Amino acid sequence: MYSRRESREPGVGGAMDCGTPTGDFKEMMAMDVADSAQVYTAFLVYMDLLEVRNWHDVKIHGSSELHLIYLHGLEKEGCIPQLIIPTPVSMSYSHERIQQFMKLDCTSDEAQSISSILLAIVESDSTVVYYKLTDGFVIPDPPDFVEDMDNKQWRKKRLRHLR
């Protein structure tokens, strides 16, 4: 059931891959970088990513500097790794704090800067909502007009607007 995790030993940069939910929670508590509420929030997000959303290679990291437990994982195999910041709904962050999140290093061999993070907001009923935050504006993908070209209504509407 927990085959997505490789070992129970601490990894590079404070990362851990654990074997059981109880072990995962104990490892988060043992990191001693955040208060118990933030650890519990991180654990809920961790379990949501692994068991509900089927993410791969989810690793636990801690930052004593930021007093924070954060996660790093792959939404799908072969995708770009993502940084996830678990937070309770009652917590508020300044722009400076979010910029500090953007500068987090997940492993020592990753020299690239993070262009986006996922802020995982946990409600008191354990509902998790994910918000993608980027450093600056992101240009949206252009709309896909190929599908609309086959639509007769779209062609008629276009002809009306051209007249």
Domain extent listing, the chain? 12-138
* Gap between the Cα atoms of 157 and 160, Å rounded: 5
Mean pLDDT of 1-29: 52
Q: What is the pTM of this model?
A: 0.69
* Gap between the Cα atoms of 129 and 143, Å rounded: 26
Q: What is the pLDDT of residue 17?
A: 46
Q: Who has greater pLDDT, 69 or 153?
A: 69
* Gap between the Cα atoms of 13 and 61, Å rounded: 7
Mean pLDDT of 155-159: 69
Q: Who has greater pLDDT, 110 or 98?
A: 98
Mean pLDDT of 137-145: 74
- CATH number for the domain formed by residue range(s) 12-138: 3.40.1350.10
